[in-house]
């Protein structure tokens, strides 16, 4: 580990107006490794003074060089940000692994590349998206021209989660900056490092001071609550639990500030008898267990057509039992720990509850026997259940761990009804080789994103978001620009 990176990991400070600062609160909290349970370093907690300073810096930057910068120049700077992340790929990879404990192969192929790419993709998108224009007839015969002008929304509060820290933070920061806004980011208290490190990248490439700010802390009575309630914040974008989203919406209501929210999910997979079994097994192993099941788009409920139910359960069990739990740096590791001991307690409580509710444990259901050096980590077994009632809490409530429940169905109509029988509506994965059926079923599932014969395959030009309790609004492509910009109509009488 190089000296500079060691400094970041040992002491994560706020990044305000282009400077790293411990702030004035004098409060810190420990950053704990989910792999070992040991202390990695300390994180400075931001309170109202730190949030005020960050928002003030962001507001001022709107009226400085950034605010007057041509779009092409702004896009070049964001390309430079992406290039610098890639140049320092190993630093970001090490920081992300320290915080999350996820396998190195996963972070190096998904988290860091996508975290960098978000800046380039949205910088290019902003340059190439047209606005509307109309000619209007007028009584004098000369007419009028109406055209749209996109302008920055202002200061954007970015509340980012811990499961994909860099990727999901830049998924919001990328389009926000591409649209000309400034941001104040409050990363999860569980994963502060890559967001902190990004501040150094911003300075290196010449992003003006105040454009990108970071304040660390918690939610209630801490940085998160102060940021979302701040009257000088123009909009809030959030990824996290639905109940937290509801609290943020209450804060946003004062001042009628816009929100974009991607919240919880209890996603269903549907496997039809005509599915390619190999594809369905491989895809479900990923959708249910990737990132230790800590993916908002993951599959926790799997519905399998009855003729292939037993085979599917048997083969998925075999796949799960071949998974190797271990440290990030081991190339054979296929699954790391959960993010924290607190989250481990939550997941283990659902494992216990499932049995109490009558589940059959197909595999897993407990804690793995790890080597002594990892016994303090947040390890749980990847788990498959069957036999639960559709009214069971473990079927209705999001667990957010490496677990799925598999149930049979007999008809297409039944599968659709089962998949939709939830208060959430984020994603689904449908497995069938019948193209007509695939289209027919996909459009009937109440979700923001329906995959067919794939999972986690994303074209960032397309809309992303949830239905029902899984979110508000859409980001991605032009849909993100609609949130991150204000559209003014100009009417010119000719």
Identify the CA nearest to 266 among candidates 295, 238, 290. Answer: 295
137 contacts 176 by C-beta, under 8 angstroms = no
Residues 179, 183, 186, CA angle at the centre, nearest 5°? 140
385 contacts 347 by C-beta, under 8 angstroms = no
Q: Which of 45, 96, 190, 262 is catalytic?
A: 262
Cα–Cα distance between 28 and 40 in angstroms, integer? 13
Give the pair of three-digit tokens for residue 205: 């490439």
184 contacts 227 by C-beta, under 8 angstroms = yes
403 contacts 384 by C-beta, under 8 angstroms = yes
124 contacts 155 by C-beta, under 8 angstroms = no
Alpha helices of 206-241 — where are they, by DSSP H?
223-228
Q: For the chain, first and last CA: distance in Å?
A: 65
Q: For 117-246, where are the E strands, in sequence order?
A: 133-136, 144-152, 155-159, 182-186, 212-214, 235-239
262 catalytically annotated: yes
**Catalytic site positions:** 262
């Amino acid at each position: 580990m190089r000296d500079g990176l060691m400094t970041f990991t040992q002491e994560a400070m706020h990044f305000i107006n282009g400077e790293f600062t411990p702030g004035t609160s004098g409060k810190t909290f420990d950053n704990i490794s989910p792999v070992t349970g040991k202390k990695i370093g300390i994180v400075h907690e931001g309170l109202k003074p730190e949030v005020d300073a960050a928002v003030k810096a962001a507001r001022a930057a709107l009226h400085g060089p950034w605010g007057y910068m041509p779009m092409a120049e702004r896009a070049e700077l964001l390309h430079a940000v992406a290039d610098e992340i890639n140049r320092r790929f190993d630093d970001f990879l090490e920081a992300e692994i320290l915080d999350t404990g996820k396998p190195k192969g996963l972070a190096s192929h998904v988290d860091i590349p996508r975290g960098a790419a978000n800046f380039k993709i949205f910088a290019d998108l902003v340059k190439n998206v047209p606005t509307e224009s109309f000619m209007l007839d007028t009584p004098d015969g000369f007419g009028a021209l109406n055209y749209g002008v996109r302008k920055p929304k202002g200061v954007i509060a970015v509340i980012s989660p811990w499961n994909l820290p860099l990727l999901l933070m830049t998924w919001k920061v990328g389009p926000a900056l591409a649209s000309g806004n400034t941001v104040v980011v409050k990363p999860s208290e569980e994963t502060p490092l890559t967001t902190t490190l990004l501040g150094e990248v911003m300075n290196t490439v010449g992003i003006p001071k105040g454009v990108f700010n970071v304040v660390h802390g918690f939610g209630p009575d801490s940085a998160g609550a102060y940021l979302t309630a701040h009257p000088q914040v123009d909009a809030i974008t959030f990824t996290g639990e639905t109940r937290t989203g509801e609290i943020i919406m209450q804060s946003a209501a004062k001042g009628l500030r816009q929100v974009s929210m991607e919240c919880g999910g209890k996603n269903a997979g549907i496997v039809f008898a005509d599915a390619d079994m190999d594809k369905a097994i491989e895809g479900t192993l990923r959708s249910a267990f990737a990132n230790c099941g800590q993916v908002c788009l993951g599959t926790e409920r799997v519905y399998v057509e009855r003729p292939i139910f037993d085979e599917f359960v048997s083969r998925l069990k075999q796949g799960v039992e071949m998974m190797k739990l271990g440290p990030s740096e081991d190339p054979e590791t296929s699954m790391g720990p959960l993010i924290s001991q607190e989250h481990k307690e939550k997941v283990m409580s659902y494992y216990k509850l499932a049995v109490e509710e009558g589940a059959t444990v197909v595999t897993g259901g407990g804690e793995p026997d790890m080597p002594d050096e990892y016994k303090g980590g947040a390890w749980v077994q990847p788990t498959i259940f069957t036999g639960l009632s559709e009214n069971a809490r473990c079927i209705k409530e999001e667990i957010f761990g490496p677990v799925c429940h598999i149930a049979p169905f007999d008809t297409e109509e039944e599968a659709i009804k089962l998949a939709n029988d939830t208060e959430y509506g984020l994603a689904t994965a449908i497995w069938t080789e019948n193209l007509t059926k695939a289209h027919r079923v996909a459009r009937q599932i109440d979700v923001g994103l329906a995959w067919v014969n794939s999972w986690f395959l994303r074209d960032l030009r397309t809309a992303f978001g949830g239905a029902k309790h899984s979110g508000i609004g859409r980001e991605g492509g032009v849909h993100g620009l609609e949130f991150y910009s204000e559209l003014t109509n100009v009417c010119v009488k000719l």
